[in-house]
Amino acid sequence: MRKVFAIALVIISGISMAFAANDIQNDQKNEGEVIAMNKAMFIKDVFDYTTNSEVWKYEGKKPAIIDFYADWCGPCRQTAPIMKELAKQYSGEIVVYKVNVDNERELASLFNATSIPLFVFIPMEGEPQIFRGAADKATYEKVIQDVLLKK
């Protein structure tokens, strides 16, 4: 009986380590990429507004940018390549998400995204900062440096 228990324990440990390794690989795989975000991911990785809508508490491990966009939006299409460049440039330092406002209306309303593109800059501590409209790469870099990385 002990032998069966020991074998089962080894198997369970192996499975647990495989899942943990897979989580690490998934995190590393997304490094330097813009990550499409839905409501479930937002609640898990950013802020669970369903349990506490009064006090902002960022759940992320790195500062983040959330790009609220739509496929039909011209300025959104202009800023998308900039966000990709910034995700690569600041890989390992920040996370860049994108949220399609047509698919994720609840998240869009959470940040009052009545005009797009809308960018939410989320530092590790403090309140998120909202930036409305398209800008050049240098403008976003300044916000990353001043608000997210505080350099």
Active site (annotated) includes residue 73: yes
Distance CA 121, CA 35 (A): 15
Distance CA 55, CA 25 (A): 32
Distance CA 27, CA 48 (A): 20
Catalytic residue among 76, 82, 87, 120: 76
Catalytic residue among 65, 66, 73, 118: 73
Residue 148 CB neighbours (<10 A) = 21
Under a CB-based contact definition with an 8 Å cutoff, are residues 116 and 69 in contact? Answer: yes
Distance CA 92, CA 72 (A): 31
Q: Return the active site residues.
A: 73, 76
